[in-house]
Amino acid sequence: MQFRPYGATGRMVSVLGISTTAFYDEKELSKYSASIYHAFDKGVNYFDSSPFAFGGTGERALAQAIVEMRKTGHPFNLASRTMAVNGDDLLRDLDGSLRRLDVDTIDFYQLWRIFSEEQLTAGGDASLLSGIRKAIDQGLIRHAVISTNMGKQEIAGLGENLPFEGITLGHSGIRLLFNKDMVQSFTGYNMGLAVLNPFGTDFFESRQELFDFILTSENQTFLEASIHFFMSNDYISTIVTKLSTPYQIDQAISAVDHFEHYSREEINSNWKRMREELLTFREKGKSLSPTNIRESSILTDAVDFLLGPKKADQ
C-alpha cells in the first residue's frame, strides 16, 4: 500500500480508501465488517462512512471492524459526514455517528452539500461554522472537511479564513475532468483531497460502459484504469472506493501495487482525450443501464451540472 499526506494535517492516509456507504443489509454486518478488516489488514487506513446511507448500516459495520482494528495497535483514519443546516443539527448528527462507531473522535468530519460560504455562517452562534468549531474545541473531530460545488476563489477562502483542512469530491471523475485547475489548486491552500467513488469503482457495469474511455491499454481492467488515472495526480490524497468484498478489495490493492506513474505527457493526453469523450457522450448515445435508475439519476445530475441540462431536442 502507498500512503500520501492529507494536506497540512500531518496525517498520512492510504492512497486507497474504503467507503462503507454501499453496505445496505443490516443482516450482513458481520460480512461487511470482515471486508473492512480485510482492507485494513492489507494496508488501507482511511475508512469513510455516512449516517444517512441505508440508515447508518455502514457505520455499524465499521464499528464492528474497529473493535478488531484496535487490537492490532496500528493507526487508522475515520471519516463521516453531515448534511446539517445549522450548528445544533451538526452536533446532533456528529453525536449519532460517534455513538454508532463507538469512538470518542472522528478524524475527518465532512460537511456535505455546501454551495456558498453563506451556508456556513448564516445564523451566527447557531451556524454550521459555529457548530464545527465547537466540535473541534471539544475534541469530537480532528479535521473539518467540506464537500462542495463552489468555485476556485470561494474554496480558497475555506482554507485561508475558515477551519477547513480538506475537500471531498463526489462524482469525482466527472468533476476532475472539468475542473482540473480548480482541483489542483487545493494543494496551494494545504488542503487534503479525497475523491469519492471515482468512475464507479463500486463495479457498476453500466458505468464501465459509459466511461470505457479511461482505459489506456487493452490489458488494463476498468478498475485499474480508474485507480491509475487518479494515482497519477499527486495532489489527490486518497481514492475512496465503494468496494464491499475481499475479492474487490484485493483487485483494487493489486492495481495500487502495480501502478506505474504516467509521464506528464501521458497525463495531459489522457485529460484531453477523456474530457473530449465526456463532452460528446450524449451524441454517441451512451447512457446508463435502466436497471439502476438511482445511479443513473445521480450521474445525470452531475453531468448536467457541468455540461448544462440536456436540450429537449437532443
CATH number, domain 3-307: 3.20.20.100
What percent helix, strand, coil does the chain show, rounded to 5? 50, 15, 35
For residue range 168-202, what is the model confidence (pLDDT) as tens digits?
A: 887 555 556 555 555 665 666 678 989 887 665 54
Q: Around Cβ 209, how many Cβ atoms within 10 Å? A: 14
**Radius of gyration in angstroms for the set of CA atoms belonging to the chain, rounded to a whole number:** 19
**10-residue averages of pLDDT along the chain (314 residues):** 92 94 87 95 95 85 95 96 92 94 95 81 87 95 82 56 80 58 63 78 54 76 83 87 88 90 78 72 53 42 45 44
Question: What is the per-residue pLDDT for 104?
Answer: 96
Of 129, 165, 164, nearest to 237 (Cα)?
Answer: 165
Question: What is the per-residue pLDDT for 246?
Answer: 92
Q: Where are the domains of the chain?
A: 3-307
Question: What is the per-residue pLDDT for 149?
Answer: 55
C-alpha cell at 5: 499526506
Quote the CA–CA distance of 308 and 225 in Å, as a whole number: 27
Residue type, 162: L
C-alpha cell at 213: 474511455
Question: What is the per-residue pLDDT for 98?
Answer: 96
Q: What angle do CA 27, 31, 32 make, to 5 degrees?
A: 90
Please, what's the largest Cα pairwise distance for the chain? Answer: 60
Of 172, 175, 176, 212, nearest to 195 (Cα)?
Answer: 172
Q: Around Cβ 36, how many Cβ atoms within 10 Å? A: 27
Question: What is the per-residue pLDDT for 18?
Answer: 93
Burial of 132 (0-12, 13-18, 19+ CB in 10 A): buried
Determine how β-strand 141-148 pairs with β-strand 164-169: parallel
C-alpha cell at 120: 456556513
DSSP 108: E
